[in-house]
Structure 1
Amino acid sequence: MSITTITKTWLCSGLLTVLVSGVNLANAEDLAAQLQQLAQSEQRSSENLSRNQYRNPEQTLQFFGLEPTMSVLEIWPAHGWYTEILAPFLKAEGQLTLAQFRHNDGSLKDDRSIFWARVSQKLEQRIAENPQHFGNPRFIELDPPMLYPAVTEQFDMVLTFRNAHIWNESGHLADTLKTLYGALKPGGVMGMVEHRAAKLSDISSSAVEGYLDESYVIAAAELAGFELVASSEVNANPLDTKNYPKGVYALPPTLAMGLQDKNSYLSIGESDRMTLKFIKPAE
């Protein structure tokens, strides 16, 4: 091969790389704009919109690598704060499945389970009444540690927002993570946002109600088979001192202390949160 041919080949290769990079950048910017538009949609309540500053949905979902063609499982969507963004983003080319709280078939006894079953039912009704926005999400249930019906290697991405501490409190963290691992396709992503405990040293932390140690969460996920590929400080809050009488629930949006020091808690904002991206190894 002549020097001229080699030079032409190198130039063509370089030009192709630049063009592909330009296309990827344009696609990323387009997806970011879509997510931002959905996060600020007038379909959302003013209360939900006010939480964007703490939950940073477009940056968080971009960090996890969300794409519109994916099959995505959102765990315990509750009132649908993230569902309002995910459902319309995925409705044309992808598929959103919501792992709801266990429905009340008459066997639920504790008030907490009955309350969340009611919340799940209201979200399903809201989605059914507004298909133009939400599309046609599918519904299953997560009754930790199991998904009902069971699913295996079905999803490109699993998303869980502020749920791990609940599973940990009930003793189901490890087994629930194993279930989510099984639901992912090889190479799939689990994106997790969770309240982060105060770190005292490299080997210790202080975890009041609702907070979890970041190293502990990572270790539990790795034990289930996941591999941590990245972490982000996009949802960090340095104002959160994590030493409140009712733990994380003293902060908004719960404000469990009522009127007591309410303005102080409002000035702190929502909790300091770890944002972790795991993959299920392709092999």
Structure 2
Amino acid sequence: MKTKILIKKLKSTGFRSFVSLAVFTSVLTATVPAYASSIAKAVQSDVRAEHSARDQYRHPQQTLEFFGLKPNMTVVEIWPGGGWYTSIINPIVQEHGKYFAANFHIFEGSPNYYKKSLDSFKQKVATNPVYKGIEVTEFHQTKALNIAPESSVDMVLTFRNVHNWYMGDGDLGVENAFKAFYKALKKGGVLGVVEHRMPESLDQVENKRSGYMKQSYVIAAAEKAGFKLAATSEINANSKDSAQHPKGVWTLPPRLALGEEDKAKYLAIGESDRMTLKFVK
């Protein structure tokens, strides 16, 4: 729309050369990423209609455009869970790229939901066309670190997972995770991180169980593994979220861990404030 308005203005000021106008229009069009249409199509697809209600908080189209996802990429998603992002990413790379789902690693003493989630995901891979072609691997921050063949991946994506590795194994868990991602990526490959954001004024250790992480902590951990911070974005920011709630981030929707207690208050806040970070190997 802005392009059309600009062209009209140019015509009205004497810019009437068809050739010049065509060249100018092509330059404007070229500024839109070529891969944006494939992302938009996947986000708007009816196959993920049940998930789309949360787009207002997760901004999948803007987030994936920011990370630079392209149809010919080999991509690893860490702990895809119920497949919220899978139903967007795999259709994009299904024909010309590759999708690895680094799912839960099952071990003695692992939470019961690990196996339930993994079995459910594998069932989707076996029966759902949206999941066709996915290769399921495993990841755990101390027990399973080979998410894909070494130096074979264009992009690693992790959505709201860093706090789990930190809660489970502290600094070691986070450092192991970023090292594993670095190992899998090609030189120049991208690591995209979305995580619940803790205010820098709070103490990370004291708030370890909150589900929030300080952005400075996450950046430092990635850089320690060898990554370079390429860009940050406020796409998934929420200024209403103080990150200080009775049951941590799970107090907010969609979990609403307090049930009916102050439900309207937490619905008004919405989902958590989140950092969105792009790193490069």
The answer to whether TM tops 0.5 is yes
Tell me if structure 1 keeps the 8 A contact 2:77–2:101.
Answer: yes
Q: Which residue of 1 aligns with 2:264?
A: 263
Tell me if structure 2 keeps the 8 A contact 1:158–1:189.
Answer: yes
Secondary structure class of the residue paired with 1:160: strand
Matched to 1:278, the amino acid is: F
Query: Would the alpha carbon gap of residues 24 and 67 (structure 1) be closer, same or farther in structure 2, given more than 3 Å must change?
Result: farther
Aligned match for 1:82, one of 62, 81, 85 = 85
Q: Which residue of 2 aligns with 1:3?
A: none
Deviation of the 1:108 alpha carbon: 3.2
Query: Would the alpha carbon gap of residues 97 and 204 (structure 1) be closer, same or farther in structure 2, given more than 3 Å must change?
Result: closer
Matched to 1:68, the amino acid is: P
Superposed CA offset, 1:57-89 (max 9, x none): 010000001111000000000000000000101
Q: Which residue of 1 aligns with 2:96?
A: 93
- Write the distance in 2 (CA, Å) between the matches of 1:45 and 1:19: 35
Matched to 1:182, the amino acid is: K
Deviation of the 1:129 alpha carbon: 1.1
- Write the distance in 1 (CA, Å) between the matches of 2:206 and 2:29: 46
Matched to 2:128, the amino acid is: N
Matched to 1:210, the amino acid is: G
Aligned match for 1:56, one of 56, 59, 62 = 59
Matched to 2:108, the amino acid is: L
TM-score normalized by structure 1? 0.83
Aligned match for 2:40, one of 4, 23, 36 = 36
Tell me if structure 2 keeps the 8 A contact 1:140–1:147.
Answer: no
Matched to 1:192, the amino acid is: V
Superposed CA offset, 1:144-195 (max 9, x none): 2333466311100000000111111122011111111111111100000000
Deviation of the 1:51 alpha carbon: 0.5
Superposed CA offset, 1:213-263 (max 9, x none): 100110011001100010000000011111111110111111111121122
Count of matched residue positions in the alignment of Structure 1 and Structure 2: 256
Q: Which residue of 1 aligns with 2:275?
A: 274
Secondary structure class of the residue paired with 1:50: helix
Q: Which residue of 1 aligns with 2:31?
A: 25
Q: Which residue of 1 aligns with 2:11?
A: none
Superposed CA offset, 1:5-42 (max 9, x none): xxxxxxxxxxxx9798567435x2x5323322322322
Identity %: 43
Deviation of the 1:135 alpha carbon: 2.7
Deviation of the 1:117 alpha carbon: 2.0
Query: Structure 2: which 5+ runs fail to align?
Result: 1-22
Matched to 2:168, the amino acid is: S
Query: Would the alpha carbon gap of residues 96 and 24 (structure 1) be closer, same or farther in structure 2, given more than 3 Å must change?
Result: farther
Query: Structure 1: which 5+ runs fail to align?
Result: 1-16
Q: Which residue of 1 aligns with 2:138?
A: 141
TM-score normalized by structure 2? 0.84
Give 4+ residue runs of structure 1 displaced > 2 Å after superposition: 17-26, 30-34, 107-110, 145-151, 203-208
Q: What is the root-mean-square deviation of aligned Cα atoms in Å?
A: 2.5
Alignment of 1:116-131 (within 5 A): 116-131=114-129
